[in-house]
Amino acid sequence: MRDFTKNISALLAKVPQWGLIIPIFFLMLFHYFAVIDEKKEKDPEPELNATPTESEMKAFKIIDELPQDSKVLILVNYGPESKYELEAAMSALIGVLAEKNIGIAFATMIPNGVESAFTAVEKSIENGRFGKERFVYGHEYTHLGFIVGGNIATYLIANNFGEVRERDIFDSSTDIHQPLVSEIGSISDFSAVFEFSSQTFDGVPGIVSFAVMLKDKNVRKVAFCSSDMLSAYIPFRGSVYLDGLVGGFRSIAVFINEFLPSLNIEKQYHILSTILFYIIALVIFSNLIKMTTKNKK
């Protein structure tokens, strides 16, 4: 048995780490197509088989109950690092809001959030639920830009929104050029506030900090966060600080499947899960080679 172990260790030591990518890649492809074929036999459409949590259901209900022709604020606090988790969800939400003629004001507390918002809008338009002629900048949506200061920015948004909305990202006067926000005097004039986030500010989620400083506790607050930020948001779900939470890829997949099933997010979810599994396998084998090489020396 000892000789067998030594032989295996010697064999692994001779294999370059990059060489593991090829067999892992072929295993991943084999596993993926085998799963897809099996699912086609049993069920033509793969399902998440996930029941929405109470927090997710509250978020769905808030979105369903938003009044026609009302207005919402979306805080975009994520960049390229969480694009593949949060962009599809925000695009789906934009589509739902556009169909109900709900005006959207975007704002961000991180520089990358500006581009993230515009990219999500373009993707939502590409999905074909509404055209550019129905979703015009300054009328159906606007962007109030990057508000500097982290928690200071959340205070300004919560209590001095009249000043925050004076000019947009292009330095144009919103009172003169944008009827969308000219009627917004305070944060209370929004039907809901949403945050899409991949980071916290001083260890606190942006929307929680916003809620703490908000005088009007009746404003509904919903957060969408990336998987790595979920642990920071969970303690606040179901509290006065957060009315609904959609966090992590599984939760976001459930949300998109609820509001925009045509995106086939279930397939993306299964593909991502498979890729993550094989990444873990690659890391394990790579560390095993390092250990055997070290022992040999």
Judge if 98 and 17 occupy the same domain. Answer: no
Is residue 4 a part of any domain in this protein? Answer: no
Give every CB contact of residue 234 below 8 A, 6+ residues apart in sequence.
Answer: 245, 247
Q: CB of 143 within 8 A of CB of 117?
A: yes
- 3-class SS at 16? coil
Same domain for 274 and 242: no
Identify whether residues 103 and 146 lie together within a single domain: yes
Sheet strands (E) in 96-198: 103-108, 141-146, 192-197
Per-residue pLDDT 10s for the chain (297 aa) are: 555 555 555 655 555 555 555 565 565 555 555 554 554 455 544 455 567 889 999 999 999 999 999 999 999 999 998 988 899 999 999 999 998 999 999 999 999 999 999 999 998 888 766 777 778 898 899 999 999 888 888 999 999 988 888 889 988 888 877 888 888 888 999 999 999 999 999 889 999 999 999 988 889 999 999 999 999 999 998 788 999 999 988 899 889 888 876 655 455 555 555 555 556 666 666 666 666 666 555
**Domain identity same for 40 and 172:** no
3 found inside a domain: no
Dump the DSSP string for 38-54: HHHHH-SS-----PPPH
Residue 221: the pLDDT is 95
State the residue range of the domain holding 282.
13-44+267-296
Number of domains in the chain: 2
Sign of CA dihedral 269, 274, 280, 283: negative
- Whole-number CA gyration radius for the chain: 23
CA distance linking residue 23 with residue 199, whole number of Å: 36
CA-wise closest residue to 188 among 157, 163, 212, 164: 157
User: What CATH number is given to the structural domain containing 248?
Assistant: 3.40.50.10160
Within a domain: 6: no
pLDDT at 150: 83
DSSP secondary structure letter of residue 70? -
Is 5 within the bounds of a domain? no
Q: Are residues 19 and 94 in the same domain?
A: no
Residues 191 and 230 occupy one common structural domain: yes
Shared domain for 240 and 172, answered yes or no, is yes
What is the four-CA torsion angle of 284, 290, 292, 296, rounded to 10 degrees?
180
Give the pLDDT score at 46: 46
pLDDT of residue 135: 86
250 shares its domain with 280: no
Q: Where are the alpha helices (DSSP H) in 192-264?
A: 206-213, 230-233, 248-259
Q: Is the same domain home to 92 and 175?
A: yes
Task: For residues 130 and 227, state if they share a domain.
Answer: yes
Q: Which tokens sit at 295?
A: 């022992």
Residue 101 in tokens: 């003629």
The C-alpha atoms of residue 257 and residue 287 are separated, in whole angstroms, by 38
Contact 71, 103 (CB under 8 A): yes
Hey, what are 250's tokens?
């599984």
Do residues 143 and 106 touch, judged by C-beta distance below 8 A?
yes
